Amino acid sequence: DPQIIWFRQDLRLADQAAVAAAARAGPVIAVYVLDDETPGNWRIGGAQRWWLHHSLAALAASLEAQGVPLVLRRGRAGTVIPELVRTSGAGAVHALWHYEPWARVQQAEVAAECELQLHDGNYLLPPGTVRTGSGGPFRIFTPFWRALQQHMPPPPPTPVPALTAAPVPDSDTLADWQLLPTRPDWSKGFNVWTPGEAGAHAALDAFAGKAAAYDRARNFPAEAGSSRLSPHLHFGEVSPGQVWHAVPDSDSYRREIAWRDFAAGLIDTFPDSHETPGRAQFVDFAHRDAPDELRAWQQGRTGYPIVDAGMRELWATGWMHNRVRMIAASFLVKHLLIDWRAGSRWFWDTLVDADLGNNSLGWQWIMGSGVDSSPFNRIFAPVTQSAKFDASAYIRKWVPELARVPEAAIHAPWEAGGARGYPPPLVDHAVARARALAAYAATRA
Ligand code: FAD
Protein backbone atom coordinates (compact mmCIF):
# COMPACT_ATOMS: atom_id res chain seq x y z
CA ASP A 1 0.00 0.00 0.00
CA PRO A 2 1.10 3.59 -0.53
CA GLN A 3 2.23 5.31 2.66
CA ILE A 4 1.49 8.97 3.30
CA ILE A 5 4.22 11.17 4.79
CA TRP A 6 2.41 14.11 6.35
CA PHE A 7 4.89 16.95 6.79
CA ARG A 8 4.25 19.74 9.29
CA GLN A 9 7.01 21.48 11.29
CA ASP A 10 9.50 18.79 10.29
CA LEU A 11 10.46 19.80 6.75
CA ARG A 12 13.52 17.54 6.37
CA LEU A 13 14.36 14.11 4.97
CA ALA A 14 17.31 13.11 7.18
CA ASP A 15 16.78 12.05 10.79
CA GLN A 16 13.02 12.23 10.22
CA ALA A 17 11.33 9.16 11.67
CA ALA A 18 8.06 9.59 9.75
CA VAL A 19 9.93 9.65 6.44
CA ALA A 20 12.02 6.64 7.44
CA ALA A 21 9.01 4.61 8.63
CA ALA A 22 6.99 5.36 5.49
CA ALA A 23 9.95 4.47 3.26
CA ARG A 24 10.29 1.09 4.98
CA ALA A 25 6.58 0.32 4.59
CA GLY A 26 6.06 1.00 0.87
CA PRO A 27 5.90 3.55 -1.91
CA VAL A 28 5.27 7.03 -0.54
CA ILE A 29 3.01 10.04 -1.09
CA ALA A 30 4.57 13.16 0.45
CA VAL A 31 2.03 15.78 1.56
CA TYR A 32 1.99 19.23 3.13
CA VAL A 33 -1.37 20.71 4.15
CA LEU A 34 -1.64 24.48 4.60
CA ASP A 35 -4.14 24.46 7.46
CA ASP A 36 -5.29 27.93 8.43
CA GLU A 37 -8.48 26.58 10.01
CA THR A 38 -7.47 24.35 12.92
CA PRO A 39 -5.16 26.93 14.57
CA GLY A 40 -7.83 29.64 14.32
CA ASN A 41 -6.32 32.90 15.59
CA TRP A 42 -2.90 31.29 15.80
CA ARG A 43 -2.50 30.44 12.13
CA ILE A 44 1.04 31.22 11.04
CA GLY A 45 1.94 34.86 10.58
CA GLY A 46 3.30 36.84 7.66
CA ALA A 47 7.03 36.32 8.22
CA GLN A 48 6.59 32.57 8.53
CA ARG A 49 4.55 32.41 5.35
CA TRP A 50 7.59 33.77 3.56
CA TRP A 51 9.76 31.11 5.23
CA LEU A 52 7.29 28.32 4.56
CA HIS A 53 7.17 29.14 0.85
CA HIS A 54 10.92 28.79 0.47
CA SER A 55 11.24 25.82 2.79
CA LEU A 56 8.55 23.89 0.90
CA ALA A 57 10.25 24.73 -2.39
CA ALA A 58 13.50 23.30 -1.02
CA LEU A 59 11.77 20.18 0.33
CA ALA A 60 9.97 19.64 -2.97
CA ALA A 61 13.31 19.82 -4.83
CA SER A 62 14.92 17.25 -2.50
CA LEU A 63 11.97 14.90 -2.89
CA GLU A 64 11.89 15.44 -6.64
CA ALA A 65 15.54 14.30 -6.81
CA GLN A 66 14.22 10.91 -5.67
CA GLY A 67 11.29 11.03 -8.09
CA VAL A 68 8.73 11.85 -5.37
CA PRO A 69 6.57 14.94 -5.89
CA LEU A 70 5.45 17.01 -2.89
CA VAL A 71 1.66 17.17 -2.87
CA LEU A 72 0.31 20.51 -1.62
CA ARG A 73 -3.23 20.76 -0.26
CA ARG A 74 -5.03 23.49 1.60
CA GLY A 75 -7.76 23.16 4.23
CA ARG A 76 -8.49 21.51 7.54
CA ALA A 77 -5.90 18.76 7.99
CA GLY A 78 -8.44 16.57 9.79
CA THR A 79 -10.52 16.53 6.59
CA VAL A 80 -7.84 16.76 3.90
CA ILE A 81 -5.59 13.93 5.10
CA PRO A 82 -8.33 11.28 5.55
CA GLU A 83 -9.72 12.22 2.13
CA LEU A 84 -6.27 11.67 0.59
CA VAL A 85 -6.10 8.28 2.30
CA ARG A 86 -9.44 7.29 0.77
CA THR A 87 -8.66 8.46 -2.75
CA SER A 88 -5.12 7.05 -2.82
CA GLY A 89 -5.82 3.78 -1.03
CA ALA A 90 -2.96 4.57 1.36
CA GLY A 91 -2.24 2.08 4.12
CA ALA A 92 -1.07 4.48 6.80
CA VAL A 93 -0.21 8.10 7.49
CA HIS A 94 3.17 8.84 9.07
CA ALA A 95 3.86 12.10 10.90
CA LEU A 96 6.00 13.48 13.71
CA TRP A 97 4.51 14.43 17.07
CA HIS A 98 3.82 18.13 17.65
CA TYR A 99 2.50 19.63 20.86
CA GLU A 100 0.77 22.90 19.98
CA PRO A 101 -2.88 22.58 21.03
CA TRP A 102 -4.06 22.75 17.41
CA ALA A 103 -1.45 20.17 16.35
CA ARG A 104 -2.99 17.81 18.88
CA VAL A 105 -6.46 18.55 17.45
CA GLN A 106 -5.18 17.76 13.95
CA GLN A 107 -3.64 14.52 15.20
CA ALA A 108 -6.86 13.46 16.94
CA GLU A 109 -9.04 14.29 13.93
CA VAL A 110 -6.81 12.41 11.50
CA ALA A 111 -6.44 9.42 13.84
CA ALA A 112 -10.23 9.19 14.18
CA GLU A 113 -10.57 8.63 10.41
CA CYS A 114 -7.53 6.61 9.37
CA GLU A 115 -4.39 4.89 10.58
CA LEU A 116 -2.04 7.58 11.88
CA GLN A 117 1.43 6.55 13.05
CA LEU A 118 3.07 9.29 15.09
CA HIS A 119 6.83 9.28 15.60
CA ASP A 120 9.15 11.28 17.86
CA GLY A 121 12.00 13.43 16.70
CA ASN A 122 11.35 17.14 16.88
CA TYR A 123 12.65 17.37 20.44
CA LEU A 124 15.64 15.89 22.25
CA LEU A 125 13.12 13.85 24.22
CA PRO A 126 9.34 13.61 23.83
CA PRO A 127 7.77 16.16 26.23
CA GLY A 128 6.64 14.45 29.41
CA THR A 129 9.47 11.87 29.37
CA VAL A 130 11.38 13.40 32.25
CA ARG A 131 9.35 13.99 35.41
CA THR A 132 10.00 15.37 38.87
CA GLY A 133 10.56 13.06 41.84
CA SER A 134 6.83 13.17 42.56
CA GLY A 135 5.96 12.32 38.96
CA GLY A 136 4.81 15.76 37.82
CA PRO A 137 6.01 17.97 34.99
CA PHE A 138 8.98 20.28 35.57
CA ARG A 139 8.12 23.95 36.01
CA ILE A 140 11.68 25.15 36.52
CA PHE A 141 14.36 24.83 33.90
CA THR A 142 17.50 23.92 35.85
CA PRO A 143 16.16 20.69 37.42
CA PHE A 144 14.58 19.83 34.06
CA TRP A 145 17.96 20.24 32.36
CA ARG A 146 19.65 18.08 34.98
CA ALA A 147 17.08 15.31 34.46
CA LEU A 148 17.18 15.58 30.67
CA GLN A 149 20.95 15.14 30.59
CA GLN A 150 20.55 11.68 32.14
CA HIS A 151 18.98 10.64 28.81
CA MET A 152 21.57 12.25 26.59
CA PRO A 153 23.19 11.97 24.10
CA PRO A 154 20.30 11.54 21.68
CA PRO A 155 20.56 8.60 19.24
CA PRO A 156 22.93 9.18 16.30
CA PRO A 157 21.08 10.95 13.45
CA THR A 158 19.82 8.75 10.63
CA PRO A 159 20.52 9.45 6.92
CA VAL A 160 18.03 10.26 4.16
CA PRO A 161 16.28 7.00 3.21
CA ALA A 162 15.74 5.84 -0.38
CA LEU A 163 12.16 6.59 -1.46
CA THR A 164 9.86 5.10 -4.07
CA ALA A 165 6.99 7.16 -5.42
CA ALA A 166 3.37 5.98 -5.30
CA PRO A 167 0.89 7.29 -7.90
CA VAL A 168 0.46 11.00 -7.28
CA PRO A 169 -2.77 12.75 -6.28
CA ASP A 170 -3.62 16.27 -7.52
CA SER A 171 -1.68 19.12 -6.00
CA ASP A 172 -1.91 22.88 -5.64
CA THR A 173 1.13 24.89 -6.67
CA LEU A 174 3.06 27.03 -4.21
CA ALA A 175 2.12 30.08 -6.26
CA ASP A 176 -1.58 29.30 -5.62
CA TRP A 177 -1.01 29.88 -1.93
CA GLN A 178 0.36 33.41 -2.27
CA LEU A 179 2.58 33.05 0.75
CA LEU A 180 4.98 35.77 -0.36
CA PRO A 181 4.27 39.48 0.21
CA THR A 182 3.51 41.53 -2.87
CA ARG A 183 2.85 45.20 -2.30
CA PRO A 184 4.46 46.38 -0.15
CA ASP A 185 7.21 43.79 -0.30
CA TRP A 186 8.61 43.93 3.24
CA SER A 187 10.75 40.84 2.73
CA LYS A 188 13.81 42.32 1.01
CA GLY A 189 15.94 42.04 4.17
CA PHE A 190 14.94 38.38 4.52
CA ASN A 191 17.58 37.46 1.95
CA VAL A 192 19.96 36.86 4.89
CA TRP A 193 18.20 33.49 5.28
CA THR A 194 18.33 30.24 3.30
CA PRO A 195 15.25 28.25 4.32
CA GLY A 196 15.32 24.49 3.83
CA GLU A 197 17.34 21.49 4.95
CA ALA A 198 20.53 22.44 3.08
CA GLY A 199 20.37 26.01 4.42
CA ALA A 200 19.88 24.67 7.94
CA HIS A 201 22.97 22.49 7.68
CA ALA A 202 25.01 25.34 6.22
CA ALA A 203 24.02 27.49 9.23
CA LEU A 204 24.83 24.64 11.61
CA ASP A 205 28.26 24.05 10.04
CA ALA A 206 29.06 27.76 10.16
CA PHE A 207 28.11 27.89 13.82
CA ALA A 208 29.89 24.67 14.85
CA GLY A 209 33.21 26.35 14.04
CA LYS A 210 32.60 29.14 16.53
CA ALA A 211 30.55 27.34 19.17
CA ALA A 212 33.41 27.52 21.67
CA ALA A 213 32.95 31.31 21.89
CA TYR A 214 29.16 31.06 22.23
CA ASP A 215 28.91 31.40 25.98
CA ARG A 216 30.29 34.94 25.88
CA ALA A 217 29.54 36.08 22.33
CA ARG A 218 25.82 35.28 22.38
CA ASN A 219 25.07 38.23 24.65
CA PHE A 220 26.44 40.90 22.32
CA PRO A 221 23.98 41.92 19.64
CA ALA A 222 26.65 43.48 17.44
CA GLU A 223 28.40 40.09 17.19
CA ALA A 224 26.96 37.15 15.25
CA GLY A 225 27.63 34.98 18.30
CA SER A 226 24.51 32.81 18.37
CA SER A 227 23.61 30.10 15.87
CA ARG A 228 20.57 31.69 14.17
CA LEU A 229 19.16 28.21 13.88
CA SER A 230 15.82 29.11 15.47
CA PRO A 231 13.70 29.27 12.29
CA HIS A 232 15.39 26.13 10.95
CA LEU A 233 14.64 24.33 14.22
CA HIS A 234 11.09 25.63 14.34
CA PHE A 235 10.32 24.32 10.86
CA GLY A 236 12.20 21.11 11.61
CA GLU A 237 14.69 21.53 8.78
CA VAL A 238 17.30 20.20 11.17
CA SER A 239 16.61 17.96 14.17
CA PRO A 240 17.74 18.86 17.68
CA GLY A 241 19.60 15.54 17.73
CA GLN A 242 21.58 16.55 14.65
CA VAL A 243 22.39 19.87 16.31
CA TRP A 244 23.45 18.18 19.55
CA HIS A 245 25.90 15.90 17.76
CA ALA A 246 27.27 18.68 15.55
CA VAL A 247 28.20 20.95 18.47
CA PRO A 248 30.10 18.67 20.84
CA ASP A 249 32.16 21.22 22.74
CA SER A 250 29.57 23.65 23.97
CA ASP A 251 27.53 22.69 27.02
CA SER A 252 26.08 26.17 27.24
CA TYR A 253 24.77 25.81 23.70
CA ARG A 254 23.22 22.39 24.32
CA ARG A 255 21.54 23.92 27.35
CA GLU A 256 19.80 26.45 25.08
CA ILE A 257 18.58 23.68 22.81
CA ALA A 258 17.10 22.10 25.94
CA TRP A 259 15.13 25.33 26.60
CA ARG A 260 13.22 24.49 23.47
CA ASP A 261 12.33 21.08 24.91
CA PHE A 262 11.35 22.73 28.19
CA ALA A 263 9.03 25.16 26.38
CA ALA A 264 7.39 22.32 24.45
CA GLY A 265 6.78 20.54 27.75
CA LEU A 266 5.14 23.64 29.19
CA ILE A 267 2.66 24.08 26.33
CA ASP A 268 1.94 20.38 26.44
CA THR A 269 1.11 20.58 30.16
CA PHE A 270 -0.47 24.07 30.07
CA PRO A 271 -1.98 24.30 26.57
CA ASP A 272 -3.36 27.82 27.13
CA SER A 273 -0.01 29.34 28.16
CA HIS A 274 0.01 31.54 25.05
CA GLU A 275 -3.17 33.25 26.28
CA THR A 276 -3.43 32.82 30.03
CA PRO A 277 -0.95 33.89 32.74
CA GLY A 278 0.54 30.89 34.48
CA ARG A 279 0.07 32.60 37.86
CA ALA A 280 -3.44 33.48 38.87
CA GLN A 281 -2.66 36.86 40.42
CA PHE A 282 -1.82 38.17 36.95
CA VAL A 283 -5.22 37.49 35.45
CA ASP A 284 -6.49 40.91 36.53
CA PHE A 285 -3.23 42.80 36.06
CA ALA A 286 -3.86 46.49 35.26
CA HIS A 287 -2.39 46.64 31.76
CA ARG A 288 -2.53 50.02 30.06
CA ASP A 289 -4.48 50.37 26.84
CA ALA A 290 -2.17 52.62 24.82
CA PRO A 291 -2.49 51.92 21.09
CA ASP A 292 -0.21 54.80 20.02
CA GLU A 293 2.57 53.60 22.30
CA LEU A 294 2.11 50.03 21.09
CA ARG A 295 2.49 51.30 17.54
CA ALA A 296 5.62 53.27 18.42
CA TRP A 297 7.11 50.10 19.91
CA GLN A 298 6.17 48.01 16.88
CA GLN A 299 7.71 50.54 14.52
CA GLY A 300 10.88 51.12 16.52
CA ARG A 301 10.10 54.72 17.52
CA THR A 302 10.24 54.53 21.34
CA GLY A 303 13.23 56.86 21.60
CA TYR A 304 15.30 54.14 23.34
CA PRO A 305 17.94 53.19 20.76
CA ILE A 306 18.46 49.57 21.85
CA VAL A 307 14.71 48.89 21.81
CA ASP A 308 14.22 50.59 18.45
CA ALA A 309 17.20 48.83 16.86
CA GLY A 310 15.75 45.48 17.92
CA MET A 311 12.25 46.23 16.67
CA ARG A 312 13.62 47.39 13.34
CA GLU A 313 15.90 44.36 13.01
CA LEU A 314 12.80 42.26 13.62
CA TRP A 315 10.78 44.01 10.92
CA ALA A 316 13.62 43.99 8.40
CA THR A 317 14.86 40.41 8.84
CA GLY A 318 12.16 38.48 10.73
CA TRP A 319 14.54 37.82 13.64
CA MET A 320 15.84 39.63 16.70
CA HIS A 321 18.84 38.96 18.90
CA ASN A 322 17.89 37.19 22.17
CA ARG A 323 19.37 39.82 24.50
CA VAL A 324 17.44 42.51 22.63
CA ARG A 325 14.23 40.43 22.65
CA MET A 326 14.45 40.50 26.44
CA ILE A 327 15.08 44.25 26.58
CA ALA A 328 12.40 45.15 24.00
CA ALA A 329 9.81 42.83 25.54
CA SER A 330 10.52 44.13 29.03
CA PHE A 331 10.15 47.68 27.74
CA LEU A 332 6.69 46.92 26.38
CA VAL A 333 5.33 45.14 29.44
CA LYS A 334 7.12 47.09 32.19
CA HIS A 335 7.95 50.57 30.89
CA LEU A 336 4.72 50.88 28.92
CA LEU A 337 2.64 48.42 31.01
CA ILE A 338 1.09 47.09 27.80
CA ASP A 339 -0.32 43.55 27.83
CA TRP A 340 2.36 40.92 27.05
CA ARG A 341 -0.11 39.27 24.69
CA ALA A 342 0.01 42.33 22.42
CA GLY A 343 3.76 41.81 22.26
CA SER A 344 3.64 38.08 21.68
CA ARG A 345 1.07 38.67 18.94
CA TRP A 346 3.37 41.09 17.15
CA PHE A 347 6.23 38.62 17.44
CA TRP A 348 3.95 35.89 16.13
CA ASP A 349 3.36 37.84 12.94
CA THR A 350 6.88 39.20 12.43
CA LEU A 351 9.30 36.46 13.60
CA VAL A 352 10.45 33.80 11.16
CA ASP A 353 11.08 31.61 14.22
CA ALA A 354 7.69 32.28 15.89
CA ASP A 355 7.10 29.22 18.02
CA LEU A 356 4.19 28.77 20.40
CA GLY A 357 6.26 27.22 23.16
CA ASN A 358 9.31 29.47 22.98
CA ASN A 359 7.37 32.67 22.40
CA SER A 360 4.87 32.08 25.22
CA LEU A 361 7.65 31.08 27.60
CA GLY A 362 9.70 34.15 26.65
CA TRP A 363 6.86 36.62 27.13
CA GLN A 364 5.53 35.08 30.32
CA TRP A 365 9.06 35.02 31.72
CA ILE A 366 9.53 38.70 30.95
CA MET A 367 6.11 39.52 32.41
CA GLY A 368 6.90 37.42 35.47
CA SER A 369 3.57 35.66 35.12
CA GLY A 370 4.78 32.22 34.03
CA VAL A 371 4.47 28.96 35.89
CA ASP A 372 8.26 28.81 35.93
CA SER A 373 8.12 31.80 38.35
CA SER A 374 10.68 34.52 37.85
CA PRO A 375 11.67 37.65 39.74
CA PHE A 376 9.01 40.05 38.51
CA ASN A 377 10.59 43.03 40.17
CA ARG A 378 13.40 42.85 37.65
CA ILE A 379 13.06 45.68 35.18
CA PHE A 380 15.58 45.78 32.36
CA ALA A 381 17.14 49.25 32.20
CA PRO A 382 17.50 49.83 28.46
CA VAL A 383 20.34 52.34 28.63
CA THR A 384 22.43 50.31 31.07
CA GLN A 385 21.86 47.10 29.10
CA SER A 386 22.74 48.82 25.84
CA ALA A 387 26.08 50.01 27.23
CA LYS A 388 26.87 46.78 29.07
CA PHE A 389 26.38 44.66 25.97
CA ASP A 390 28.13 47.13 23.71
CA ALA A 391 25.23 47.71 21.32
CA SER A 392 26.66 50.78 19.61
CA ALA A 393 27.42 49.19 16.22
CA TYR A 394 24.10 47.33 16.35
CA ILE A 395 22.18 50.56 16.95
CA ARG A 396 24.04 52.39 14.18
CA LYS A 397 23.19 49.60 11.77
CA TRP A 398 19.46 49.44 12.47
CA VAL A 399 18.65 53.06 13.38
CA PRO A 400 20.15 55.18 10.58
CA GLU A 401 19.09 58.44 12.28
CA LEU A 402 21.69 57.61 14.94
CA ALA A 403 24.45 56.42 12.61
CA ARG A 404 26.56 59.51 13.19
CA VAL A 405 25.75 60.30 16.80
CA PRO A 406 28.92 60.58 18.96
CA GLU A 407 29.80 57.43 20.86
CA ALA A 408 29.05 59.05 24.22
CA ALA A 409 25.44 59.70 23.17
CA ILE A 410 24.58 56.48 21.35
CA HIS A 411 22.72 54.73 24.19
CA ALA A 412 20.77 57.82 25.38
CA PRO A 413 20.84 60.47 22.64
CA TRP A 414 18.38 62.77 24.45
CA GLU A 415 21.02 63.48 27.09
CA ALA A 416 23.12 65.13 24.38
CA GLY A 417 20.32 67.11 22.78
CA GLY A 418 18.87 64.31 20.63
CA ALA A 419 19.39 63.46 16.96
CA ARG A 420 17.60 64.81 13.92
CA GLY A 421 14.62 62.70 12.91
CA TYR A 422 14.84 60.50 16.02
CA PRO A 423 12.03 60.75 18.62
CA PRO A 424 12.56 61.67 22.30
CA PRO A 425 11.94 58.87 24.84
CA LEU A 426 8.30 57.80 25.00
CA VAL A 427 8.57 57.64 28.77
CA ASP A 428 11.22 58.54 31.35
CA HIS A 429 12.99 55.48 32.76
CA ALA A 430 12.71 56.45 36.45
CA VAL A 431 9.03 57.36 36.10
CA ALA A 432 8.24 54.17 34.21
CA ARG A 433 10.15 52.05 36.68
CA ALA A 434 8.23 53.46 39.67
CA ARG A 435 4.92 53.03 37.85
CA ALA A 436 5.72 49.40 37.00
CA LEU A 437 6.78 48.57 40.54
CA ALA A 438 3.52 50.02 41.85
CA ALA A 439 1.48 47.98 39.35
CA TYR A 440 3.32 44.79 40.31
CA ALA A 441 2.97 45.53 44.03
CA ALA A 442 -0.79 45.74 43.50
CA THR A 443 -0.90 42.17 42.11
CA ARG A 444 0.30 40.85 45.46
CA ALA A 445 -2.22 42.76 47.52
P1 FAD B 1 20.88 30.36 19.96
O2 FAD B 1 21.35 31.17 21.11
O3 FAD B 1 21.90 29.96 18.96
O4 FAD B 1 20.14 29.11 20.58
C5 FAD B 1 19.99 27.88 19.86
C6 FAD B 1 18.57 27.42 19.86
O7 FAD B 1 18.13 27.15 21.19
C8 FAD B 1 17.60 28.44 19.32
O9 FAD B 1 17.56 28.40 17.92
C10 FAD B 1 16.29 28.00 19.96
O11 FAD B 1 15.71 26.93 19.25
C12 FAD B 1 16.75 27.49 21.31
N13 FAD B 1 16.62 28.57 22.31
C14 FAD B 1 17.54 29.51 22.63
N15 FAD B 1 17.07 30.31 23.61
C16 FAD B 1 15.83 29.88 23.90
C17 FAD B 1 14.84 30.29 24.83
N18 FAD B 1 15.03 31.31 25.69
N19 FAD B 1 13.66 29.63 24.85
C20 FAD B 1 13.46 28.57 24.03
N21 FAD B 1 14.35 28.14 23.13
C22 FAD B 1 15.54 28.77 23.07
N23 FAD B 1 12.61 31.57 20.28
C24 FAD B 1 11.99 30.96 19.25
O25 FAD B 1 12.53 30.01 18.68
N26 FAD B 1 10.75 31.36 18.85
C27 FAD B 1 10.09 32.39 19.45
O28 FAD B 1 8.96 32.70 19.05
C29 FAD B 1 10.74 33.08 20.51
N30 FAD B 1 10.14 34.13 21.11
C31 FAD B 1 10.80 34.77 22.14
C32 FAD B 1 10.17 35.85 22.78
C33 FAD B 1 10.79 36.52 23.82
C34 FAD B 1 10.09 37.69 24.50
C35 FAD B 1 12.08 36.11 24.25
C36 FAD B 1 12.78 36.83 25.37
C37 FAD B 1 12.71 35.04 23.63
C38 FAD B 1 12.08 34.36 22.59
N39 FAD B 1 12.70 33.25 21.94
C40 FAD B 1 12.04 32.62 20.91
C41 FAD B 1 13.95 32.67 22.46
C42 FAD B 1 15.27 33.19 21.84
O43 FAD B 1 15.27 34.59 21.80
C44 FAD B 1 15.49 32.65 20.42
O45 FAD B 1 15.34 31.25 20.39
C46 FAD B 1 16.90 32.97 19.93
O47 FAD B 1 17.13 34.35 19.94
C48 FAD B 1 17.09 32.43 18.52
O49 FAD B 1 18.34 32.76 18.00
P50 FAD B 1 19.47 31.65 17.79
O51 FAD B 1 18.93 30.53 16.99
O52 FAD B 1 20.67 32.35 17.28
O53 FAD B 1 19.69 31.18 19.29
Among residues 209, 244, 269, which one ends one of the domains? Answer: 269
State if residue 354 touches ligand 1 by the CB under 6 angstroms criterion.
yes
Cα 191 from Cα 316, distance rounded (Å): 10
CATH label of the domain that carries residue 230 = 1.25.40.80
pLDDT in the model for residue 400: 98
Using pLDDT thresholds of 50, 70 and 90, give the confidence band for residue 206. very high
Q: Is 169 a domain residue?
A: no
Mean pLDDT of 435-440: 94
From ligand 1's centre to the CA of 322, what distance in Å? 6
Using pLDDT thresholds of 50, 70 and 90, give the confidence band for residue 443. confident
Instruction: Please indicate, yes or no, whether residues 327 and 375 belong to a single structural domain of this protein.
Output: yes
Residue 275: how many other CB atoms lie within 10 Å: 12
Residues whose CB is less than 8 angstroms from the CB of residue 202 and which lie 6 or more positions away in sequence, other chains included: 194
Cα 230 from Cα 200, distance rounded (Å): 10
Could you list the residues known to form a binding site, using ranges: 214, 226-230, 253, 353-355
Residues of the chain with pLDDT > 70, as a percent, come to 99
From ligand 1's centre to the CA of 220, what distance in Å? 15
The 28-34 sheet, strands edge to edge: 70-74, 28-34, 3-7, 92-96, 116-119
From ligand 1's centre to the CA of 294, what distance in Å? 23
State if residue 422 touches ligand 1 by the CB under 6 angstroms criterion.
no
Mean pLDDT of 28-39: 98
Q: Is 193 a domain residue?
A: no
Q: Supply the residue whose CA is at minimum distance from atom 45 of ligand 1.
A: 230
Instruction: Please indicate, yes or no, whether residues 94 and 56 belong to a single structural domain of this protein.
Output: yes
In the predicted model, is pLDDT for residue 444 greater than 80? no
State if residue 237 touches ligand 1 by the CB under 6 angstroms criterion.
no
pLDDT in the model for residue 44: 97
Could you list the residues known to form a binding site for FAD, using ranges: 214, 226-230, 253, 353-355
Residues whose CB is less than 8 angstroms from the CB of residue 353 and which lie 6 or more positions away in sequence, other chains included: 230, 231, 233, 234, 318, 319
Q: Is 227 a domain residue?
A: yes
Mean pLDDT of 53-77: 98
Instruction: Please indicate, yes or no, whether residues 212 and 301 belong to a single structural domain of this protein.
Output: no
State if residue 122 touches ligand 1 by the CB under 6 angstroms criterion.
no
State if residue 208 touches ligand 1 by the CB under 6 angstroms criterion.
no
Q: What is the pLDDT of residues 420-431, one digit of tens each?
A: 999 999 999 999
Residue 7: how many other CB atoms lie within 10 Å: 26
Helices vs strands, H then E, count in the chain? 19, 5
- At 119 the three-state DSSP class reads strand
Domains: count for the chain: 3
Using pLDDT thresholds of 50, 70 and 90, give the confidence band for residue 250. confident
pLDDT in the model for residue 373: 67
Q: Supply the residue whose CA is at minimum distance from atom 2 of ligand 1.
A: 226
Mutate which of 247, 297, 322, 363 to test ligand 1's pocket (most atoms within 8 Å of Cβ)? Answer: 322
CATH label of the domain that carries residue 292 = 1.10.579.10
Q: What is the pLDDT of residues 360-385, one digit of tens each?
A: 999 999 999 998 766 667 899 999 99
Instruction: Please indicate, yes or no, whether residues 287 and 423 belong to a single structural domain of this protein.
Output: yes
Instruction: Please indicate, yes or no, whether residues 45 and 77 belong to a single structural domain of this protein.
Output: yes
Q: Supply the residue whose CA is at minimum distance from atom 44 of ligand 1.
A: 322
Torsion angle of the four alpha carbons 26, 158, 206, 151, in this order, in degrees rounded to the nearest 10: 130
State if residue 114 touches ligand 1 by the CB under 6 angstroms criterion.
no
pLDDT in the model for residue 96: 98
Between 188-197, 280-289, 295-304, the lowest mean confidence (pLDDT) is in 280-289
pTM higher than 0.95 for the full model? yes
Among 170, 158, 156, 125, which Cα is nearest to 21's? 158
Q: Is 170 a domain residue?
A: no
Of 224 and 221, the structure prediction assigns the larger pLDDT to 221
Instruction: Please indicate, yes or no, whether residues 27 and 10 belong to a single structural domain of this protein.
Output: yes
From ligand 1's centre to the CA of 236, what distance in Å? 14
| Domain that residue 61 falls in | 3-122
Cα 308 from Cα 382, distance rounded (Å): 11
Exposed / middle / buried, residue 176 (Cβ in 10 Å: 0-12, 13-18, 19+): exposed
Q: Is the distance from CB of 30 to CB of 69 less than 8 angstroms?
A: yes
From ligand 1's centre to the CA of 347, what distance in Å? 12
pLDDT in the model for residue 371: 86
Instruction: Please indicate, yes or no, whether residues 243 and 344 belong to a single structural domain of this protein.
Output: no
Using pLDDT thresholds of 50, 70 and 90, give the confidence band for residue 354. very high
Average pLDDT of the chain to the nearest whole number = 96
- Single-letter code of the amino acid located at 387: A
In the predicted model, is pLDDT for residue 103 greater than 60? yes
Residue 181: how many other CB atoms lie within 10 Å: 15
Mean pLDDT of 114-143: 95
Q: Is 373 a domain residue?
A: yes
Q: Is 167 a domain residue?
A: no
Q: Which atom of ligand 1 lies at the shortest distance from residue 359's CA?
A: 30
Residues of the chain with pLDDT > 90, as a percent, come to 94
Instruction: Please indicate, yes or no, whether residues 377 and 407 belong to a single structural domain of this protein.
Output: yes
Mean pLDDT of 375-404: 94
Q: Is the distance from CB of 168 to CB of 66 less than 8 angstroms?
A: no
Q: Supply the residue whose CA is at minimum distance from atom 9 of ligand 1.
A: 230
Mean pLDDT of 133-146: 93
Instruction: Please indicate, yes or no, whether residues 291 and 392 belong to a single structural domain of this protein.
Output: yes
Instruction: Please indicate, yes or no, whether residues 384 and 308 belong to a single structural domain of this protein.
Output: yes
Categorise residue 196: left if φ over 0, alpha if ψ from -120 to 50, beta otherwise.
Answer: left
From ligand 1's centre to the CA of 424, what distance in Å? 30
Mean pLDDT of 354-364: 97
Cα 114 from Cα 194, distance rounded (Å): 36
